Copies of this chain bind each other. A is one copy, B any other.
């Protein structure tokens, strides 16, 4: 079951890249399996997951017959009332579901969304009844005398009935699964599948089902139900296995590596739900340091640089969620707050709580900008007017480089690459294979200024629907953090370079400000950033001193 649970989940994750980017992305998940050839024990350690994984994806059923069997059990799970057999029915259903192919699952979920939807006929009737009663419109303060009348009673009754009628029939299935052993986990798997299907195709009924299921999960996974657990080397392997499998930020390469993550100078905390035992829904890794780390090497040491008693900073260097089906349910918020409180209580000498975080979307955003803008620049040169009709705002003509930056680039880069303008040159440099640019001190120093400045702009100014465009930034900002500092060449790993040109960012959590910051970000989308960071956004002159 455990083995299978994980296996299924991994299959799900294979199909689905977690939108909030806090969980394993496909390539990371596969790396977990490939990287671990170092020792016997490692292999055994991970094989559980990978075996299960293989075993599962070999046998999904595409047959019409199997589909109908599972559909039957789903119907029973919704319509039956015999509590004595309900457990068996729900087990049948989830077992059956797991055995289905992606297409059959899709068919089944759409059937669930459509055939067990809201009873619109009944809703309409109740609405007519409701409108039939002349009641005190929006007025709340009804005189007592009013209460005595049966009219108000009828009003309340009709409202209750309408409230019930508006519940889709599939809520019965959700409720029953929630109180069924293993059901909550199964629901999160269902939702992971739904999300992946919605990513392929937008189906209104399925989207409605998802939003309803999400609402339910939010209440069922309220912080009150989550238990904060300090994960140590003494925890069962079945739990540690999941830390290895789901570590999203800095993959764990070996058992020794894992042991270090749980050893002296470090902490690992996870949120567990009583209904999903032995599997943290989200976990956070903390390093105890003297100062806020500027690069990942300061964190991924083999031996603690200082005794814990000398630590003044707790650095969150990795947060991973294990359930792709819980996307959009912010478990991290309370986790971080509670971890801070726990650490403070445990080690009063720790006063700074910060992160060293990746900037996952930076390069993607920058390369797109450089590409489109350099094209626009050329087009303009050739006298082709750039009409405002052009699609996205990013295509308005704009030299995203400062004059000095462009000048420096053109001067120093000719021997490395060609390009009609600074932006095209920068694009070519950044996309040169094996990240050649990182191997030349000259190029590094030339690129540092624009890369750091544009990174600050990306983090502070680039938004999507009023929230930070960068998903990790959005995560920490909504939890009340401040963008404190960006660090040059903080992560030279292939992943670090491809995601953010090696830049990493420190978010800082100030206990007395967390709530306030979270509120104002939530309300107005205003992003809290340090003055150091803001300086990047001011005219060239000032920030020269800063970055060089």
Contact = CB atoms under 8 A, between A and B. Distances in A.
B515 A159 contact: no
Contacts of A156: 204-205, 207-208, 211
Interface in A7-25: none
Contacts of A207: 153, 156
A118 B159 contact: yes
Contacts of A167: 163
Given A141-B114, A147-B205, A222 B160 contact: no
Number of copies: 2
Contacts of A149: 204
Contacts of A83: 515
Interface string A129-148: 01100011111111010011
A141 B127 contact: no
Contact of A140 (B84, B115, B179, B202): B115
B208 A160 contact: yes
Interface in A94-124: 114-115, 117-124
A519 B81 contact: yes
Contact of A204 (B152, B212, B219, B225): B152
A166 interface: yes
Contacts of A135: 120
Given A114-B142, A120-B135, A224 B179 contact: yes
A514 interface: yes
A469 interface: no
Contact of A136 (B120, B122, B131, B208): B120
A204 B166 contact: no
Contact of A179 (B127, B138, B162, B223): B223
Interface of A: 81-84, 114-115, 117-124, 127, 130-131, 135-142, 144, 147-150, 152-153, 155-156, 159-160, 162-163, 166-167, 175, 178-180, 202-208, 211-212, 219, 222-225, 274-275, 514-515, 519
Q: Which 3 pairs of residues, A with B, have the shortest CB-CB distance?
A: A121-B138, A179-B224, A156-B208
